[in-house]
Structure formats: structure tokens, C-alpha cells
Amino acid sequence: MLDLDAILTVIAIWVGVGVAALGAPRNTRFVAHALFPVSAVLSLAITVLALHGVSISPEQRVLPLGLPGLPLHFRIDSLSASFLALIGAVSAGTSVFSAGYVRPGEGTAPGLQCLQYHLFLAAMALVVLADDAYAFMLAWETMALSSYFLVIANHRAAAIRQAGYLYLLLAHIGAIAILLCFGILQASTGDFTFANLRAQTLSPLWGSLAFLLALLGFGAKAGLVPLHVWLPEAHPAAPSPVSALMSGVMLKTAVYALLRITLDLMHLQVWWWGVLLLALGLVTALYGVVFTTVQTDMKRLLAYSSIENVGLVFVGLGLALMFRAYEMPALAALALTAALLHTVAHALFKSLLFLATGTVLHATGERNLGKLGGLIRAMPWVAWLALVGALAASGLPPLAGFVSEWLLLQTFLLTTHLPASFLNMLVPLAAAGVALVAALGAYAMVKFFGVIFLGQPREQKLQHAHDATPLERIGLAWLAALCVGLGLAPIAAIDVIDPVTRMLVGFGLGATVHANGWLVLAPVSLQRASYSPLVFAFAVAAGTLFAVLLVHIVYHARARRAPAWDCGFGQRNARMQDTAEGFGQPIRQIFEPLFRMRRELPSAFDTRPRYRVIVEDHFWHWIYKPVQAMVERAASLAGRVQQGRIAIYLLYSFATLVVMLLLAGR
């Protein structure tokens, strides 16, 4: 049996599992303990099959479904296989977690959520497998629709409904742009199979138009500025496993699709495409990370951090496109590898962190950072596993986040002379931007972890918060392990990515990396740059051990517990710690112009002084509100036509008649 068949079968079973949930939609135990574990196993199966599929030659299948003349085509090649593996790996974690997470609550019934969840998984898998425009759009929109229903799972809250609506609307507008893009790619042949799109060659003008449409469509899904506004609304609204999937995997399907279209379907290469992507990516990353640091809602914070990381990924893509256009395959491969590695890394640590917030939410019922704190004592499992995610998200060695950022910076450094002189100026600037983003990311993550898990509990109820359930722990641990694994053995990941880059830009890092041995990661040569996470980790561990032994053997290990020093003030309480606002305040001050802030400052004479600051996004008022107003205006104009008087209606049809007669008479 072919790989693809097996995968399609597993996907079908996924859907089956979802449908099975309709059997007992309100039976939480059945859904949680029977169905979700099964789907987790299926996810693992998908991962294995996909990892196998990376290296084998492409396979195709045509299902007798869909439109006449355009049945559903599916195809697996190294690109789709690698993304499929990612989907499987992450969803395995989220599914196990969900098994422990699902609770009967108001809003959509567990069974229904289970169905939507599995449709979501299946749709994402089919997106990366689709091999014709119809199948792609079908999967793409189903993905948006199912996730929309999941986002508004708790639909009693008006804010959540608003978020869902905004999300669905932007997704649909994006989908329309994508459809138009396909319309251009088929070059009026009427054949929408990817095979045919591949065969077409476009003029630079039409090609660029198609690229821009694709950028609009997939940018809306990936959350590129200024199309990012739905992310910080939708992610907090959704149940945590869903946020994990959306942020970890769904955003990446946009990356996949953009790669598919620009590097696989289109042969045309224009240098400024890459520059545009690079610039957009940088802006997005900076914008995202700056907003991350000032958030006070833990899931919004993570959502903005997702925007940041997507931005970094697009920086890599931009470089890859640029180098491809300038026929520098080696560099293109390097940039692409960096981008893909970061895609994987972000998928892992971000879903880990979202799941962690889920457990915190269930344990405390709080999303507001200002009311959390000190949870590392109440829920050590979650805390320590989340710490792994947070360190990885801060891009610290030897964890997952660091490798990709390291490779990205290497790409900048190894950039040789580019034809356009201003690009040679742009590249270092971009490198500086990336460095700044990475550093700020660490700031945000310290805030995230420190305010939630460290310090003293800011509320009484946090004292007796319960730790994650065993199944939840498994889910978290799985993702944490993957974070560490990817960080320690990037070469294994590069082996998976190698065929992808060879397929897309005609060059792969695999050979050079292996030339320098399994221990050291050297993308070009040992003399140019090298990094060995294993040795690194070992050295740090050894150093720690050495220090422990030194101190304890040469001296002693006596320690005494005492109350923390209160500087002689006498009454030290949790309110004296930095709040989330306080922790973000310096950044807010430094990057003030980026925000739209409303402050409520207490006057000196307030009996009960309170300070409040609301940080908003400029783009609402720059783009979205005006567009909305425009549509309303157009609607009211159109309304004039229909103003109730029958004589006027008759006049319309009379006038139409006369005009048509005039036209026909000639």
C-alpha cells in the first residue's frame, strides 16, 4: 500500500472519530477517554508515515470526488510530507492533552467540539496534500470554518463571538484573494490542477500580481501586519488545545502554501518579492514582539508572540526568495532551512505554552496576568514544562528556538555581495532587527513565565490550584521533549528539511552538515561557523555539577529557611511585586509611538486612586474602521435605489426598457 493511501486512510479515520463523537455529544468521559487518545495514536501514525514520505519520490492520487473535469487530486512530496509530519507531531500532543482537558461546560457540547476538532485536523492535513485548486480551497476553507466553530465554542460571551466573526471574515477575504491568485496562475487554460499550474509560465506583471494576491491571502492566515488583528482576538477566545493547534500548525499552513506557490508552482523569480517578504516579516516580528511585552492577558501575549515568530519565519522566506532570484542556491537553501526550522520550533514551543496556559486557566479560571503568580508551587509539573517552552521561545541555547535564529543570523552574515547595492545595506539592518527581536522575545518570555509561575500568588484562590491531570502532563511532556530534542539534534531535523530545500531551491544543507560530523552543526564549514548543542548542553551540565560538587565537598551544604527580607518595612505582600503592566512599562515607554494608549491616572486627591492603561492597535483605526465605514456608506447609497414608491419602481423599469430599446434599435 502506498504511503499516500495510508495517510488518506488515517485522515478518513480522523473524520470517523469525529463523527463517532456525535453518537454521544454530551458524554464527556466517552469523548475524552475513548476518542481523543485514539486520534493521538492516529497523529503519531501520520507523523511516522509523513517522515517516511519525505524521502520517497512523490506519489499522487485522484479521488473520484469534487467537480466533473476536476476531481480531487492529492499528492505527497517532501514539502507536503515535512509539514504533514509537523501537523502529526503537534496534534499528537494536543490530542493527548485534550483527552485530559475536555470538561463539560456551557457552550458547544464536547462531542460537537470533538467533531470540529477532528475536521480541523483533517482539513489541515488535506491542505498540505491537495494537488489542485479546488481540493486546496475546499480544505483551506473547511479548515477556517471548523476552527471558527472551535473559536466560538464558548459562544455565550459576546466578545468571543466578535473574535470568531473577525477571524472568519479575514479568513474568507484571504481565501478570495487565493482563489484569484489561482485564477491568474492557470493562465486561462481552465485547468486548475497544480500540475498544469506548474506547466504555465507567466509574464512578470501577472506573476507579481499573483504573488501579491497569494501574499494577501496567506498573509491574512499567517498574521502578517497589518492583517494580524484577528490573531490576538481569536487565540484567547479558543479553547487552549485549539489555540495551540491554530498558532502552532494552522499559521504554518500559510507558510506551506506560500512556499508551494512561489517556489514550486511559479517558475518566475523577481528579486523584490523577496525584499518585500523580508521587510514585511521584519515589521511583523518587531510589531509583534513589542506588543507581546505589554500584554496583560496570558493568551493574548502568546498570540502576539506568534505574530513575532511568524514574522521571523517570513524573514527567512524573504531571504530565500531573494537569493533564489539572484541564483544563489546555497544561501537560499540556508535561509529556507532556517525558516523551516523556526517554523517547526515555533510550532513546538508555542503549542506547549498554549497548553500550559490551558491548565492554568482550568486551575485558576484566570487569564489576566495581574491576578496570577506563584503557581510553580501549586502546579510544579506545568511550571517546569512551561519553563522549557519559555526558554525555547526566548531563543536560548541549547533549545529549539536558538538553532533556527542562529541559522537565520548565519544567513545574514554569509550573505555575499548582492547585485543591488542598497540590498547590501539592507541585509545588515535586517540582521540587527532580527537580533533586537530575539532579545525582546526573551524579555517577553521572562515576563510570561515570571509573572504566572514565580513570585507570590496575587490572589488567595491561587494557593490551592491543582496541577495538570496525568493525560495533560503527557501532552505537555511530549511537546517539551520535542523542544529539547530539536534543540539538541538539529541535524536530524535538517536531514528532514534537506530534500525540501533541494526540491524548492535546488540545494540542500544535508551534505555539508554531515561532512562536519554528527556532533557539530556547521552549515558551510567549521572555519565559517559552528555550533554543537550537545557539547554545549554537556558543558553547562558539567559546569553546574562541578560547581555543586566544589561547594558541597570543599565547604558544606547547610541551608536555612527564613522569611524573605522585607527591607525592615515589616509588611511585605504580594501586591508589592511588579504587575504585568509594570513589567512591560519600560518597553511601553521606549516604543510609545507604536501603541494607541489610553491612560487613567489618579489625581493627588483621589481617595481610592486607581491607575489604568489600555493599549490598542493603531491598525484598527488606520485600516479596518475606515473600510467598514466605506462599506456602510456604499450600502446606504445602494439603499437609495429601494425607496418604496411604486411609481419610481415603474420608472426604473420604464427607463431600463427605453435604454435597452435604444441600444437594440441601433
Partner 1 sequence: MIALLTQAINLFAALLLILAFAMITQRRVLNLVHLFTAQGLALAAATLDVGYLTAQPHLYASAAATFLLKVVLLPALLHRLINRLQVRWDVEPLLNAPLTMLLGIVLVVFAFNLATPIAALASSVARSTLGIALASVLLSFLMMITRARAVAQVIAFLSMENSLLFAATAATNGMPMLVELGIALDVLMGFVILGVFLFQIREQFDSLDTRHLERLREE
Partner 2 sequence: MNMFASATAELPLTVLLASPFAGALLLALIGHSRIGAAINVLASAVAAGCSLWLAAIIARDGASTAYGELFFVDPLNVFLVALTAFVGFTTSIFSRPYMRIEVEHGRMTAPRMRLYHAMYQLFLAMMLVALTTNSLGVLWVAMEAATLCTVLLVSIYRTPAALEAGWKYFILCGVAVLQALFGTVLLYLAADRVIGSGAGALLWTHLDAVKTELEPTIMSLAFVFLLLGYGTKAGLVPVHHWLPDAHAEGPTPISAVLSGLLLNVAVYAILRCKVLAEGALGNGLPGRAMVAFGLLSVLLAAFLLHRQRDIKRMFAYSSIEHMGLITFAFGLGGPIANFGGLLHMTMHSLTKSAIFFAVGHAAQKAGTQAMDQIRGLLQISPTVGWGLMIGSLAIVGMPPFGVFASEFVILTSAMRQLPWAAPLLLLALAVAFAAIVARVQPMVFGETAAMKRLPHPPALVPVFTHLGLGLALGLYIPPFLISWYMRAASLIGG
Partner 3 sequence: MPISPFAFVAQLLQLAVALAAAPLLVGWVNQWRAWLQNKTAPSVLQPYYVLHKLLLKEAVVAENASPLFRVVPYVVFACMALACAIVPALSTDLPLAPAADAIALVGVFALARVFISLAAMDVGTAFGTMGARREMLIGFLAEPALLMSLFCASLISNSTSLTAIVNKVAHSHFQLYPSLAFAGVAFTIVSLAENARVPVDNPATHLELTMVHEALILEYSGRHLALIEWAASLKLFAYSCIGLALFFPYGVADAHAPLAMLVALPALAGKLAIGGLLLALIETVSAKMRIFRVPEFLATAFVLAVIGLLVHGLLEA
Confirm or reject binding of residue 4 to partner 2 (CB under 8 A).
no
Among 1, 559, 562, 646, binds partner 2 (CB under 8 A): 646
Confirm or reject binding of residue 545 to partner 2 (CB under 8 A).
no
Q: For partner 2, give the closer residue by CB, 107 or 370.
A: 107
Confirm or reject binding of residue 665 to partner 1 (CB under 8 A).
yes
Instruction: Give the x-and-dash track for 583-622 against partner 1 (CB under 8 A).
Output: ----------------------------------------
| Cis? peptide before 397, omega within 30° of 0 | no
Among 188, 460, 573, 589, binds partner 2 (CB under 8 A): 188
Confirm or reject binding of residue 651 to partner 1 (CB under 8 A).
yes
Q: For partner 2, give the closer residue by CB, 172 or 596.
A: 172
Q: Which helix (H) or strand (E) holds 661?
A: helix 646-665
Neighbours of 609 (CB within 10 A): 10
C-alpha–C-alpha distance, residues 74 and 6, integer Å: 13
Neighbours of 67 (CB within 10 A): 12
Least Cβ distance, residue 367 to partner 2 (angstroms)? 20
Least Cβ distance, residue 551 to partner 3 (angstroms)? 5
| Grid coordinates belonging to 273 | 518579492
Q: For partner 2, give the closer residue by CB, 216 or 378.
A: 216
Span interacting with partner 2, options 50-58, 150-158, 271-279, 341-349, rule CB under 8 A: 150-158
Least Cβ distance, residue 133 to partner 2 (angstroms)? 8
Instruction: Give the x-and-dash track for 621-650 against partner 1 (CB under 8 A).
Output: ---------------x-xxxxxxxxxx--x
Q: For partner 1, give the closer residue by CB, 556 or 645.
A: 645
Among 27, 142, 456, 512, binds partner 2 (CB under 8 A): 142
DSSP 10-55: HHHHHHHHHHHHTTSTT-HHIIIIIIHHHHHHHHHHHHHHHHHHHH
Which does residue 169 bind out of partner 1, partner 3, partner 2, none, counting CB within 5 to 8 angstroms by kind?
partner 2
HSE (side-chain half, CA atoms, 13 Å) at 105: 12
Q: For partner 1, give the closer residue by CB, 419 or 639.
A: 639
Q: Which of residues 58-77 bind partner 2 (CB under 8 A)?
A: 64-69
Least Cβ distance, residue 308 to partner 2 (angstroms)? 29
Q: Treating both helix axes as pointing N-terminal to C-terminal, what angle do 298-325 and 329-364 enclose, rounded to 10 degrees? A: 170
**Alpha-carbon dihedral 272, 277, 279, 285, rounded to 10 degrees:** -170
Rounded to whole angstroms, the maximal C-alpha distance in the chain is: 110
Which does residue 574 bind out of partner 1, partner 2, partner 3, none, counting CB within 5 to 8 angstroms by kind?
partner 3
> If you search the block for the grid coordinates 517532501, which residue do you land on?
78
- For residue 615, which phi and psi values (nearest 5 degrees)? -105, 125
Least Cβ distance, residue 652 to partner 1 (angstroms)? 10
C-alpha–C-alpha distance, residues 636 and 70, integer Å: 41
Which does residue 658 bind out of partner 2, partner 3, partner 1, none, counting CB within 5 to 8 angstroms by kind?
partner 1
- Type of residue at 19: V
Long-range contacts of 16-21 (CB under 8 A, 24+ apart): 17/42, 17/114, 17/118, 18/114, 18/115, 18/116, 18/117, 18/118, 18/119, 18/122, 19/115, 21/110, 21/111, 21/112, 21/114, 21/115, 21/118
Q: For partner 2, give the closer residue by CB, 120 or 453.
A: 120
Least Cβ distance, residue 154 to partner 2 (angstroms)? 10
Which does residue 455 bind out of partner 3, partner 2, partner 1, none, counting CB within 5 to 8 angstroms by kind?
partner 3
**Alpha-carbon dihedral 436, 441, 444, 445, rounded to 10 degrees:** -150
Confirm or reject binding of residue 432 to partner 3 (CB under 8 A).
yes
Among 528, 612, 618, 621, binds partner 3 (CB under 8 A): 528
Least Cβ distance, residue 634 to partner 1 (angstroms)? 13
Q: Which of residues 542-561 bind partner 3 (CB under 8 A)?
A: 542-544, 546-548, 551, 554-556, 558-561
| Grid coordinates belonging to 59 | 506519489
| Grid coordinates belonging to 652 | 426604473
Q: For partner 3, give the closer residue by CB, 548 or 634.
A: 548
C-alpha–C-alpha distance, residues 210 and 180, integer Å: 8
Contacts of 144 by beta carbon, 8 Å cutoff, 6+ apart: 167, 168, 171, 172, 175, 221
- Type of residue at 122: A
| Grid coordinates belonging to 355 | 497548553
Q: Which of residues 608-637 bind partner 2 (CB under 8 A)?
A: 631-632, 634-637
Q: For partner 3, give the closer residue by CB, 384 or 619.
A: 384
Number of residues lying near partner 1 (CB under 8 A): 18
DSSP 50-116: HHHHHHSPPEEEEEEEEETTEEEEEEE-HHHHHHHHHHHHHHHHHHHHHHHH----SSS-HHHHHHH
Least Cβ distance, residue 71 to partner 2 (angstroms)? 10
β pairing state of 59-67 and 70-76: antiparallel
Q: Which residues bind partner 2 (CB under 8 A)?
A: 64-69, 134, 137-138, 141-142, 145, 152, 155-156, 158, 161, 164-165, 168-169, 172-173, 176, 179-180, 183-184, 186, 188-190, 192, 631-632, 634-639, 641-642, 646, 649-650, 652-653, 656-657, 660-661, 663-665
Q: Which residues bind partner 1 (CB under 8 A)?
A: 636, 638-647, 650-651, 654, 657-658, 661, 665
